Structure 1
Amino acid sequence: MTTHSAVLTVPRVLSIAGTDPTGGAGQAADLKSIAAMGGYGMNVITAVVAQNTTGVIEIHTPPVRVLRAQLEAVSSDVTLDAVKVGMLGSVEVIEAVRDWLAEVKPPVTVIDPVMVATAGGRLLRAEAHTALLSLLPFADLITPNLPELAVLAGADPATTWAEALRQGREVADRFGARVLVKGGHMPGPRTPDALLEPGRHEPVITFDDPRVATFNTHGTGCSLSSAIATIVARTGDDWPAAVSAARSWLRGALEHADDLHVGHGNGPVHHFHHAQHVLADSASHERVTDVLWRDCERVRREIDNLDFIAQLADGTLPPETFQWYLDQDMQYLTVYSRALAALAAAAPSESAREFFAHGAAEVVTVESALHRTRLNGAPQHPASEVTRTYTDFLLAATGSETFAVGAAAVLPCYWLYATLGSALLEKARAAGPEPHPYGDWLATYNAPEFHLAAERAREIVDRAAATADPATVRRMRDAFMRACELELRFFAEPVRRAGARPFAVASTHRVG
């Protein structure tokens, strides 16, 4: 391992990696990431990979003499400030790179032990695992995903974050290198990361962010490792700061990945998302949905204080009251599915269209199915006035208004339910060890997939607001607030109908 203290304006960074003809991973992602972080990128090709966003098709490994010639051509002419090592593939290739690193001793070396592509397909031959282990002591930082970390630790893939950290410490101590433990493969709505150093039990720095709601994650490992190498080379030896800055940039690249529309599988991230807004400092502008969430604080507080919510959480809600609620919710979902389908038809982008179309189908196949099971068939009661008011509003907002306004109108049904679902399930678990009478229903709205959908719906609303005129943004707010008020009335009605305290809405916000 080496140290690096010089501060460079434009660091010279070499990527040693395979190719990706669709440009999302490998040396293509490395060069984009290096440039995005202000470096000058160079590349040495280890393998020609026929891959796309749906998987790996074929791999050709050029003769090792060609690899050695590439490495010599670069290092004999250019003073290197950092090296990022990615896909290597075979024993001969690994040994050639290892010998070159031992000879050249770059100031910064980051090794991303690529073994399996995000889109699927093995990128490292089984017999090369042992050779790869001989390469890792030359790293300043190792950046495996969880399956790769397990291979390096000689264990099964971690199923808990504590187990991932334990494996990371083992790898750091074994190879005398920093290890970035990445939680992107962990289930759940959040993605923890931790930077570990050899000989140190506690992480140097940890991160815990909401998962970005996108399927377009092709090349994230390549991109992050190259970005870290470049930042360390440019700013000095502050690895925690470099990891933090690179993660922040990559989250933005993921948040804007759906803008690219590349491929039919796991598409690439948007490496230059920040360059799309060079005239506006995005950090100085608050997300529209952040404002909406503050604006609906009163409504959220009133929902939390409802008898229906309290009784649902502790399991004391009478079965007949819950059945009546499900009956109305079943009728609501039937119309809600139509509203989502209308949004899909009006969506301005393919990703938004796919999201709402998938949501419309999920309402029918998942949520409504659970309701039908509990109700033993079709609804038994006519739609109440509150149910009719809410469904009429949704149909009007998604059928007669602009896409932006319609998206804002359905957002509470994602966001409020996801937030409420988490809180309710936590309270239900605290109520006692006995099986909760409504546990299966609560779990549906606390599932990771539902939280991801809520975050994706939020991003769609933010994106729509970013290009909307002020009048449309005001109508988006009105639609969002009106839906929140109607959610409050919808939750209050079952207990009110059963004879609890009277209920009245303090204020309403209408579209139009």
Structure 2
Amino acid sequence: MPETTPNILSIAGSDPSGGAGIQADLKSIAACGGYGMAALTALTAQNTHGVTGVHLPPADFVTAQLDAVAADVRVDAVKIGMLANVETIEAVGAWLAAQRTGSGPAVVLDPVMVATSGDRLTDDDAVAALRYLLSHADLVTPNLPELAVLLDTEPAATWADALEQAQRLATQADLLVLAKGGHLAGHDDGAAGGRCPDALVGPDGVVLELDDERVATTNTHGTGCSLSSAMATLYARFGDWPTALRAAKGWLTQALRDADSLDVGTGHGPVNHLGQLWDGRSVPDPRADLAHWWELIGDLRARIDGVWFVKELADGSLARADFEHYLAQDSIYLRTYSKVLSKAAQLAPTLAEQQFWAKSASECLEMELGLHEARLAEAEARGETPAGPDGAPASPETRSYLNHLLSAAAVGSYPVVAAAVLPCYWLYQDIGTRLAAANRPDHPYADWLGLYSSPEFDAATRQAIDITQRLARQAPPAEREAMLDAYLESSRQEMDFFAQRRP
């Protein structure tokens, strides 16, 4: 969490049953780590079966609410929901224009026109005014029917159509569009059935596309309100729209999973906005998402592919002396690395995790180190004297990496140790997958390439990722930061280890 909790203002209608509108907004804002405020644009009579009435306050009273908040409270982001008539839209637009003369708050517009129940919430005359309001927004989050209304076209029938429409709107309005695949159920383009895609789309195309499970529940009332409020809050916290989307989507997916644990109404019930907090889980934080960690080292991973050692290893042109220097240093590394894995086994709270780390430590010595030392012994039989663990000392790169791992182990935090050793699984598995494509029976290093692209190593990597992911989500913020620091430093050390040259 930042030092100052962000203040998020929802400008929207109410839902007395609590599942949508400002009630959903305030819950979402709180769940995602913000302080929620609200200016009412409409009072609805509705429940989980539908809307039975709408009462609109005068537009000047909406402005009075907004002015009262802005005169006293810093507004870091604004979420706009239901604006039922032209007068209210124009009032909100005029207020936003005054607020955004400088940097101003970030603005997320959820163009609420149709409720989940199918009820139309906005009159026809308001559509043109809503299009104008886009000029005051940074992000717009329509569902597919609403996206079609804004473009005056038919709703997208495929995910490809949805992305094309989103880019068209992004270009016309010069903003970001959140394309949502929730309405594609029943289509056969890969977005339906068990998956639910979402994408952040700008004038130049897709900025970030995510694909997650489609949660099997009828309790989806207010998902659009909730997602847009989460986006506003998480952008105010982290200052980055892709980061906000990744965290918001993860949070909403879990809120949908938890929805059936509630008992609200007999129709389309709400998502469980606060269930993750009730269960002791933290507010959404991309630093708890290992997919975000992987993205953070994207440039480093690309640079590793260009390292001389990796390139020459892939094409088989790597000099034998260079490969044996690497094996010698890796043998030194593995001896200490196995001790750090043993430390993880000592600290692990469950028998299954203790067994995993202990088995990894054992295999590290028995299989990997055994293979390395067998090759080094062959070199000695040829009359060569490669630097091994009992010969020349560790290189500066090897010492640096080992000192980092030993420091992580000395801290005594199981999550930090797991995060520190993870790159030796994940990066090796990632590189090994690509090197395996270059492997061949007559490759001079076929046995070594096969070791890091085997199903067994893939399974071990997956388990190490799963363990670290769980620990990251459960860790308090300070420990999570320490985990991420350890992971990033280990990744940098891996890069340097691959790039080292023999004296």
With normalisation by structure 2, the TM-score equals 0.53
Measured in 2, the distance between the counterparts of 1:136 and 1:196 equals 15
> Counterpart in 2 of 1:486?
none
Match of 2:196 among 191, 198, 206: 191
What code does the residue aligned with 2:207 have?
A: V
For residues 37 and 281 of structure 1, do their structure 2 counterparts lie closer, same or farther at Cα, with a shift above 3 Å needed?
Answer: closer
Superposed counterparts of 1:131-142, under 5 Å: 131-142=129-140
- Displacement of 1:225 in angstroms is 0.5
2:59 is matched with 64
Q: How much has 1:261 moved relative to structure 2?
A: 1.1
1:65 corresponds to which letter in structure 2?
Answer: D
Unaligned runs of 5+ in 2: 186-191, 289-503
| Structure 1 counterpart of 2:246, from 222, 244, 247 | 244
In structure 2, do the counterparts of structure 1 residues 62 and 279 end up closer, same or farther at CA, with 3 Å as the change threshold? closer
Distance 1:10 1:119, change over 3 A: same
Secondary structure of 2:84's aligned partner: coil
For residues 58 and 131 of structure 2, what CA distance do their matches in structure 1 show?
Answer: 22
Instruction: Provide the C-alpha distance between the structure 1 equivalents of 2:95 and 2:161, rounded to a whole number of angstroms.
Output: 34
State how many pairs are aligned.
Answer: 276
Counterparts of 1:83 and 1:248, CA distance in 2: 21
> 1:282/1:99 Cα in 2 relative to 1: closer, same or farther (>3 Å)?
closer
Residue 154 of structure 1: which of 143, 152, 155 is its match? 152
Q: Residue in 2 aligned with 1:126? A: 124
| Cα 1:164–1:76 shift into 2, 3 Å | same
In the alignment, structure 1 residue 267 sits paired with structure 2 residue 269: yes
**Deviation of 1:282 (Å):** 13
1:43-76 Cα shifts (integer Å, max 9, x gaps): 0000001111100100000111211110111111
Query: Is residue 2:183 matched to residue 1:181?
Result: no
Q: Which amino acid in structure 2 is aligned with residue 226 of structure 1?
A: S
Q: Is the 8 A contact 1:19 1:28 kept in 2?
A: yes
Please show how residues 286-365 of structure 1 align to structure 2 within 5 Å: none
2:20 aligned with 1:15, yes or no? Answer: no
1:208 maps to which of 203, 206, 211? 211
Where does 1:22-101 land on structure 2 (aligned, <5 Å)?
22-101=17-96
Which residue of structure 1 lines up, in the alignment, with residue 110 of structure 2? 112
Distance, in Å, in 2 between the alignment partners of 1:27 and 1:248 is 21
Report the alpha carbon displacement of residue 281 of structure 1 after superposing the two structures with TM.
12
Q: Secondary structure at the match of 1:50?
A: strand
Equivalent of 1:232 in 202, 224, 235: 235
Equivalent residue of 1:9, what SS? coil
For residues 371-390 of structure 1, the aligned pairs below 5 Å read none
Whole-angstrom distance in 2 between the partners of 1:130 and 1:257: 35
Bigger Rg over Cα: 2
SS in 1 for 2:182: coil
Letter in 2 for 1:57: T
Distance 2:282 2:38 in 1: 32
Q: Structure 2: how far apart are the matches of 1:281 and 1:66?
A: 34
Partner SS state of residue 183, structure 2: coil
8 A contact 1:216–1:254 mirrored in 2: yes
- Would you say the 8 A contact 2:11–2:79 is kept in 1? yes
Instruction: Determine the C-alpha separation between the residues in 2 that align with 1:156 and 1:235.
Output: 35
Instruction: Read off the aligned partner of 1:206 and give its amino acid letter.
Output: E
- Tell me, in whole angstroms, the C-alpha distance in 2 between the residues paired with 1:94 and 1:192: 30
In 1, the alpha carbon distance for the partners of 2:139 and 2:165 equals: 15
Deviation, structure 1 residue 7: 5.5
1:266 maps to amino acid = H
SS at match of 1:209: strand
Supply the distance in 2 between the matched residues of 1:53 and 1:153 (Cα, whole angstroms).
29
2:147 corresponds to which letter in structure 1? Answer: L
Per the TM alignment, residue 121 of structure 1 is displaced from its structure 2 partner at its CA by: 1.1
* 8 Å contact kept, 1:119–1:265: no
1:17-46 CA distance string (max 9 Å, x none)? 000000000000000000011111000000
Q: Displacement of 1:77 after TM fit? A: 1.0
Q: Distance in 2 between matches of 1:185 and 1:249?
A: 19
Counterparts in 2 of 1:63 and 1:205: CA distance versus 1, 3 Å: same
Contact 2:33 2:283 (C-alpha < 8 Å) held by counterparts: no
Distance (whole Å) between structure 1 residues aligned to residue 209 and residue 222 of structure 2: 22
Change (3 A) 1:162 1:100: same
Aligned partners of 1:232, 1:160: CA distance in 2, in Å?
Answer: 28
Q: Which of structure 1's runs of 4+ aligned residues deviate more than 2 A? A: 6-9, 279-284
The one-letter code matched in structure 2 to 1:267 is G
Amino acid at match of 1:257: A
Contact 1:56 1:120 in 2 (8 A): no
Tell whether the 8 Å contact from 2:99 to 2:105 is kept in structure 1 after alignment. Answer: no
Q: Is the 8 A contact 1:9 1:234 kept in 2?
A: no
- AA aligned to 1:143 is T
Q: What secondary structure does 1:224 align onto?
A: helix
Contact 1:8 1:233 (8 Å CA) reproduced:
no
Secondary structure, counterpart of 1:204 in structure 2: strand
Matches within 5 A, 1:409-428: none
Give, in whole Å, the separation in 2 of the partners of 1:280 and 1:221: 22
Give 3-state SS (helix, strand or coil) of 2:121's partner.
coil
Judged with a 3 Å threshold, the aligned counterparts in structure 2 of structure 1 residues 82 and 280 are, in CA distance, closer, same or farther, namely: closer
| Aligned residues of 2:251 and 2:284 also touching (Cα < 8 A) | no
| Distance (Å, rounded) in 2 between the aligned partners of 1:251 and 1:266 | 17
Which consecutive unaligned segments of at least 5 residues does structure 1 have?
1-5, 285-512
Residue 108 of structure 1, CA deviation: 0.6
Residues in 2 aligned to 1:281 and 1:67: alpha-carbon distance in whole angstroms: 31
Q: Distance in 2 between matches of 1:230 and 1:165?
A: 24
How far the C-alpha of 1:120 sits from its partner, in A, is 2.5
The separation in 1 between residues aligned to 2:168 and 2:49, in whole angstroms, is: 33
Q: Percent identity?
A: 56
Deviation at 1:81?
Answer: 0.3
Distance 1:282 1:228 in 2: 11
Q: Distance in 1 between matches of 2:110 and 2:213?
A: 24
Give, in whole Å, the separation in 2 of the partners of 1:68 and 1:281: 32
Compared CA separation, residues 61 and 281, structure 1 to 2 (3 A): closer
Deviation of 1:9 after TM superposition, in Å, equals 3.2
Mapped partners of 1:281, 1:116: distance in 2: 29
